[in-house]
A and B are shown apart, each in its own frame.
Chain A
């Protein structure tokens, strides 16, 4: 029963956040100076022509009316039509989404692959040189901005060694090999900072486990260090790591936007940046809304995973 009530409350928070975000996103779009009609007609447009186009595009109608049309449309999956390209926004998002999706998912995966071992070594061997080196490595990782890592990667592996493409993207469906080759550099650039952050959390979580009684007991009765950690410590350590992963997903999306433009990849990020500079607000609003939605879903899943991983929280939250 407690769980059902908890889920209901969580859902309420979710929808209220979504509604607030929509107002905010639409409002910012309204306040941004510069307008689409000017961008379309460009150099040489007369004020009358601009006015005519604004009327035709429906930009002269009150903001409130347009807001409700926009929200109403999104509820039925209609994100509107870009006034600039005259293509449905949903279609454009669907076209660009895979690029960002793969960047984020593979970025997270590579970050985990790098972070978990480094974090564990840093914790277990924290009084030894190798453990210290692992800690130092994650500090260095934190200090490297993703765009810089990307530029260095391009210079070394694309321009100098000519092993990998410098930029661009090939869909998985058209050539899995080319797809992978185009993703290697951006994913690694994106994963470095993430890995450093996660490694630090893994390290402190493991250190905490190492000082727990149950771990010392396991060791005392003859378990070796690694199996003891896996068997008794991982579930406890994973709680705090999952929190971080949830938070890191949002920063990964932001990082992906930067990486997409460094590597000129046709994802949501590059689409968003161009749409902003051209004042194609309906594209901006739809894309940002989708990103907010994804982040909120991930946060909800993180909360849910607490409850699953730690039953004590469930009763406390629900009471």
Chain B
């Protein structure tokens, strides 16, 4: 009797398991993206991209998070000028532009073909509206407000011509207009821009599940080269391992940026994966609070730069990926210079500098965000600083909320580690109130001169400024975050270097 009962239980269990498994084997194509890789012939019309941070709003001018322009810049919204892969400004909505002799008046001629997704032609009044929205609205972020800061007036000369007058000449301004501050919105839209889109790009919003995914669809009214995909879904993963698993399982076409380089060997099968390696704008800065008592003496800061072996650090915490830079500029900027030679790894020199400064038993608070590269680097730095007699106490602060409050807003720290991902963010060091609290009259003068002077003087001046920043040991630059993109082998056109905030879909194709 009992035997028969156990047998019946077994049958039930097997039946349930069978039911569950049958669901798995009926579908041949993995994932829900409908890719036709299995049979190879049919053209792939959808794309599934894995990314890390998810946007909390779709309007990049009201929230500073990089996740927003990653999706919308160049894909959904367009700018007057666009930064290409070589770091050159190219026409986009503006067919051409003229700059007055005093470098203060810019005249943009809009492309007559340009149209918004609504079908309406892009007009001069849209540019005026978009620029003034940033200047006058209370809800736009200080970052975009700052980039729009040099603008004195913007007016429509005629339907297709816009004239912008700057308060002072600024070489950086036009460059900034190629990013979020320069986005041109449809001024006649009634849509809520935090939750929907009204742009002129090749894609428009289809569906958005907060914290989970954003799906873009082809804009049927697009005025330029039509989008190559009917649908592109950005899927968000807080856990890098989960993203890697999705790629390995065939659910994703692209990992937009691999967060754990140690996982690279998982993608070594060239029949299934392709790896694109390049640079980003993300300088991982070991900041040194200029108002911190222990760090006021330049020799102490220089000693810290000598004491840390950046190459070994990168090999340990980021699997040897990422460039060593030595100052606040990535190699894709025209004024980049390798400044790693300023402070070669030399712990004797570090000890000598500390002795010269009369510093003994220095204790510093190393307050880092809970981000993988930051916590791993902190451990490494702690052990190297200990060798030269500096005790770094590590505090881990939850990111973003706690870190932003403690380190960024209150500057209650001695050293911190965070990657600064915005393009040309060396200007941050020119603001003595910024959390670095680096206060150098000369640096500010050089940056201002580079910006206001003739365009051909910009790069030489900035080289000078960045050399000063390095010698002054305003911070230490650990390494530049690498751009590591994993794709299926049939995907082409992924930019090698991520030199803008956009994950630019316009160049990507699936063969």
Residue positions of A touching B, CB distance < 8 A: 33-35, 38-47, 49-50, 52-53, 56, 84-87, 92, 95, 110, 113-114, 117, 120-121, 124-125, 130, 151, 154-155, 157-159, 162-170, 175, 177-178, 180-181, 184, 188, 224-226, 261-266, 270-271, 273-274, 277-280
Q: Quote the shortest CB–CB distance from B116 to chain A (angstroms).
A: 22
Q: Are the CB atoms of B238 and A130 closer together than 8 Å?
A: no
A110 to B32, CA, bound (A): 25
CB closest residue in chain B, given A187: B20
A158 to B24, CA, bound (A): 10
A44 to B429, CA, bound (A): 11
CB closest residue in chain A, given B48: A168
Q: Which residues of B contact A270 (CB under 8 A)?
A: 211-212, 238
Q: Are the CB atoms of A84 and B56 closer together than 8 Å?
A: yes
Q: Quote the shortest CB–CB distance from B252 to chain A (angstroms).
A: 9
Q: Which residues of A contact B402 (CB under 8 A)?
A: 33-34
A61 to B235, CA, bound (A): 37
A167 to B242, CA, bound (A): 7
Per the 8 Å Cβ criterion, residues 1-41 of B in contact with A are 1-2, 5-6, 9, 12-13, 16, 20-21, 23-27, 30-32
Give the contact-size bracket for chain B. Answer: 35 or more
Q: Are the CB atoms of A163 and B400 closer together than 8 Å?
A: no
Q: Are the CB atoms of B16 and A178 closer together than 8 Å?
A: no
Q: Known interface pairs A261-B238, A270-B238. Does A39 touch B210 (Cβ–Cβ under 8 Å)?
A: no
B139 within 8 A of A: yes
Q: Are the CB atoms of A167 and B139 closer together than 8 Å?
A: no
Q: Which residues of A contact B13 (CB under 8 A)?
A: 113-114, 117
A-contacting 9-mer, from B176-184, B243-251, B485-493: B243-251
Q: Which residues of A contact B248 (CB under 8 A)?
A: 158-159, 166
Residue positions of B touching A, CB distance < 8 A: 1-2, 5-6, 9, 12-13, 16, 20-21, 23-27, 30-32, 54, 56-57, 62-65, 138-139, 141-143, 146, 192, 194-195, 209-213, 235-239, 241-243, 245-246, 248-251, 398-402, 404-405, 408-409, 420, 422, 428, 433-434
Q: Which residues of A contact B9 (CB under 8 A)?
A: 117, 120-121
A309 to B52, CA, bound (A): 50
- Choice from B54, B142, B238, B251 contacting A41 with Cβ under 8 Å: B142
Q: Quote the shortest CB–CB distance from B166 to chain A (angstroms).
A: 21
Q: Known interface pairs A175-B32, A266-B213. Does A159 touch B238 (Cβ–Cβ under 8 Å)?
A: no
Q: Which residues of B contact A45 (CB under 8 A)?
A: 64, 141-142, 409
Q: Are the CB atoms of B32 and A42 closer together than 8 Å?
A: no
Q: Are the CB atoms of B401 and A279 closer together than 8 Å?
A: yes
Q: Which residues of B contact A34 (CB under 8 A)?
A: 398, 401-402, 404-405
Which residue among A35, A47, A158 has the maximum number of chain B CB atoms within 10 Å of its CB? A158
Q: Known interface pairs A114-B13, A178-B32, A277-B401. Does A168 touch B235 (Cβ–Cβ under 8 Å)?
A: yes
Q: Quote the shortest CB–CB distance from A186 to chain B (angstroms).
A: 12
Q: Are the CB atoms of A38 and B24 closer together than 8 Å?
A: no
A155 to B242, CA, bound (A): 10
Q: Which residues of A contact B20 (CB under 8 A)?
A: 184, 188
A32 to B212, CA, bound (A): 25
A120 to B237, CA, bound (A): 41
Q: Known interface pairs A38-B401, A157-B24, A225-B2. Does A86 touch B212 (Cβ–Cβ under 8 Å)?
A: no
A93 to B405, CA, bound (A): 28
Q: Which residues of B contact A38 (CB under 8 A)?
A: 400-401, 404-405, 408-409
A270 to B64, CA, bound (A): 22
List the 10 closest A-B pairs by CB distance, nearest first: A34-B401, A42-B64, A266-B212, A166-B249, A158-B249, A117-B9, A166-B245, A38-B404, A159-B248, A163-B24
- Choice from A44, A166, A177, A274 contacting B23 with Cβ under 8 Å: A177
A273 to B420, CA, bound (A): 24
A188 to B238, CA, bound (A): 22
A31 to B388, CA, bound (A): 40
Q: Are the CB atoms of B57 and A84 closer together than 8 Å?
A: yes
A286 to B63, CA, bound (A): 23
Q: Known interface pairs A46-B142, A261-B239. Does A39 touch B400 (Cβ–Cβ under 8 Å)?
A: yes
Q: Known interface pairs A86-B194, A155-B245, A274-B238. Does A40 touch B401 (Cβ–Cβ under 8 Å)?
A: no
Q: Quote the shortest CB–CB distance from B337 to chain A (angstroms).
A: 25
Q: Which residues of A contact B143 (CB under 8 A)?
A: 42-44
Q: Are the CB atoms of B27 and A40 closer together than 8 Å?
A: no
Known: A41-B141, A120-B5, A188-B20. 6 other contacts (CB 8 A): A45-B141, A113-B12, A184-B20, A184-B24, A225-B5, A278-B400
Q: Are the CB atoms of B6 and A121 closer together than 8 Å?
A: yes
A-B contact pairs, 16 of them (CB 8 A): A38-B404, A42-B400, A84-B63, A125-B2, A162-B249, A164-B24, A165-B30, A165-B251, A166-B245, A166-B249, A175-B32, A184-B24, A262-B239, A262-B242, A264-B238, A274-B211
